[in-house]
Amino acid sequence: MTTIALIRHGITEWNDLGKAQGISDIPLNKLGRKQADNVGDRLLNEGKWDIIISSDLTRAIETAQIIGGKLNLSISHYDNRIREIDCGEIEGTTEETRQEKWGSNWREKDLGMESFEQVGKRGIEFLEEMVHTYNGKRIVIVSHGALIGLTLQRLLPTMFQSTYIDKSSLTILHNSNRQWDCHLYNCTKHLSNKIT
């Protein structure tokens, strides 16, 4: 059985401001680094992990480095397939700004955003490759909210008709005999409880 821990990066200043980040390369803020530290403590208490892989965006890399420090793992590699959805022209804007600029139906306009289908497809391709390459291993993957959510919707559509992924949350997938199941979804107990 292959076990995959999907972790959304910690919080950033743009998250705090309600700005769409997409592929803009925004670092973690102080709280985001603390959140990553808490995730690392939790994973340390949940058995041995074999490998850690990160999106190639700074906020994910920082999160993975902090977690890897706890687990005594260096990041194996960075993969642009698990970076966040490309938000096109809306990157760096708030909902209020989008409505002022493009109107309340801005979601219906072509603003250069990557399609949900494309995001889910690259997420699935990445996960399938990880299971093939690291079969039987326990893998930590640090990525982004839309990528994780859209991948889950495509991977397990009856379980996940819609998703919401919190910052620094933990989702655990198992793959056995080419069958996927979700053992834990969007768990953030490590952010409110001290890990002992």
**The pLDDT of residue 196:** 41
Domains assigned to the chain: 2-192 (3.40.50.1240)
Question: Is it the case that residue 13 has pLDDT exceeding 60?
Answer: yes
Between the CA atoms of 80, 83, 88 and 92, what dihedral angle is there, to the nearest 10 degrees? Answer: -130
Q: Which residues pair with 4 in a beta bridge?
A: 139, 173
DSSP three-state, residue 12? strand
Residues 6+ apart with CB under 8 A from 72: none
Mean pLDDT of all residues in 33-41: 97
Beta strands 138-143 and 2-8 are parallel
Looking at the annotation, which residues are catalytic? Answer: 9, 84
Burial of 80 (0-12, 13-18, 19+ CB in 10 A): exposed
The b/e string for 92-108 (b: 16+ C-beta within 10 A; e otherwise) is: ebeeeebeeebeeebee
Q: Which residues pair with 184 in a beta bridge?
A: 172
HSE value, Cβ hemisphere, 13 Å, CA-based, for 64: 26
Percent over 70 (pLDDT), the chain: 98
Structure confidence at residue 192 as a pLDDT band (50, 70, 90): confident
Question: Is it the case that residue 132 has pLDDT exceeding 60?
Answer: yes
**The pLDDT of residue 194:** 53
CB contact at 8 A, 184 and 15:
no
As a whole number of angstroms, the distance between CA 128 and CA 126 comes to 6
For residue 166, give the amino acid letter: D
**The pLDDT of residue 3:** 97
Question: Is it the case that residue 69 has pLDDT exceeding 80?
Answer: yes
**The pLDDT of residue 160:** 96
Token digits for 116? 């949900």
**The pLDDT of residue 195:** 46
DSSP three-state, residue 140? strand
Mean pLDDT of all residues in 62-74: 97
Name residue, tokens 């309600």.
18
**The pLDDT of residue 193:** 60
Name residue, tokens 């590699």.
77
